[in-house]
Amino acid sequence: MRKNSVQESRPQDTKSAKYALKVAGYVYKRVAGIDGKVTQLIEANNQLLAAGIFGVASVEGQKSTPITLAPVRSVYVSNSVGQLLASTLDDEIKSFLPDAKGWPETKLLDTLNDYVSYIFEDKLQNIWLCGRTDAIKVETVDGQISAVERVPFSNPTIDESVGIAYGTEVYVATGGSFHRYDIKDNVFKKYDSLPGPKRYFASAGYFWFNDGHRWRTVDSRMQAALKLEWLGLFSNIRYIAPADKENLWVITGNNELYKFSGGLAKQYKNDYPLFLREVRGQQNKIAPSHTIIVSQLESTVDFEFIQPDFLG
């Protein structure tokens, strides 16, 4: 597929009103051996790995070398064990160790036969396999597995779960709610200080969720730096990944790729005025005005303010 862009060249002398059009061409070529939709792209061992219904393959230029032909749900490169982990549609956990000849299978977790929708790692070298009703915690010491245990969700659902390690805490999103790992009771408990998201997913080591009003992440520093409220312009997002400190890659549900610039968004920031919309007493509404008289019978008074937002 070829995509062309047209650039307009203007002369320095505005009196000679002549313009030239330059065409810049971009050519998209298919990678041989990739015969299905790519759901994940990751870098490991100085290689680009593509994963999806076709399996997992190492991509170099326009060629690919298969690592496994088993259709996969999720792949992850573990720093703790130095291996590539892949959960398959047949509920297997395959593992591969890179060497000079390729990616031979190691069968590290071949005894597990579970539905796993997402794999991540915490700061204590624990590998987490997210399922529907629980998460499997794989403890490692010096690159070796020391223990494997199941950690149930307090309110299991049939929804897919995703997880992330933020600092020393471990969080899982499932069933439209966030849950935090309680190491004392060995269970994921609902974390009420975060809103229940309408849509959520994890990518590039971050949680991304839409709380019904805007897209957010649990990392407050990234939330402030990237001006994520501007992502409300996209009605359906299926993938977000940081490009650098001020930019994001965004893929929409229509397979449109955007590079979102937080720095550019700052240029259009406006502080719209705050309006007093309504004053409510315990008995009835009170008309907003410069002077408000409240009866002594009104034990509580509520002030409701609104602020325009034109992101849409």
Residue 248, token pair as written in the block: 């994001």
Residue 5, SS3?
Answer: strand
Tell me, what's the pLDDT at 126?
95
Quickly count helices (H) and strands (E) in the chain. 2, 26
pLDDT attached to residue 5: 46
pLDDT at 294 (0 to 100): 75
Cα–Cα distances in angstroms (integers) from residue 129 to residues 74, 136, 148, 214, 311, in the given order: 10, 5, 11, 28, 37
Taking the C-alpha atoms of residue 198 and residue 133, their distance in angstroms, rounded to an integer, is: 19
Q: Which residues of the chain have pLDDT under 70?
A: 1-24, 192-198, 223-225, 235, 262-270, 298, 309-312
Task: Please tell me the predicted confidence (pLDDT) of residue 6.
Answer: 46
Instruction: Give the rounded distance of the alpha carbon of 8 from its chain centre.
Output: 37
CA dihedral 182, 183, 185, 187 (to 10 degrees): 50
How many degrees, rounded to 5, is the angle at CA 204 between CA 222 and CA 145?
A: 120
Q: How far apart are CA 73 and CA 101, in angstroms?
A: 25
The count of other CB atoms within 10 Å of the CB of residue 6 is: 8
Backbone angles phi, psi at 300, to 5 degrees: -135, 145
Distance in angstroms (rounded) separating the CA atoms of residues 11 and 157: 64
* Whole-number pLDDT of residue 59: 94
Tokens of 86: 């892949």
Tell me the per-residue pLDDT of 78-128, one tens digit each, with 9 for 90 and over.
999 999 999 999 999 999 999 988 999 999 999 999 999 999 999 999 999
Burial class of residue 38, CB neighbours in 10 A (0-12, 13-18, 19+): middle
What is the C-alpha separation between 214 and 312, in angstroms, rounded? 11
pLDDT of residue 290: 74
Q: Name beta bridge partners: 5.
A: 24
Domain ranges of the chain: 30-267, 275-306
- Record: fold of 30-267: Methylamine Dehydrogenase; Chain H (2.130.10)
Instruction: Write a three-state SS string for 99-139.
Output: ECCECCECCCCCCCCCCCCEEEECCCCEEEEECCCEEEEEE
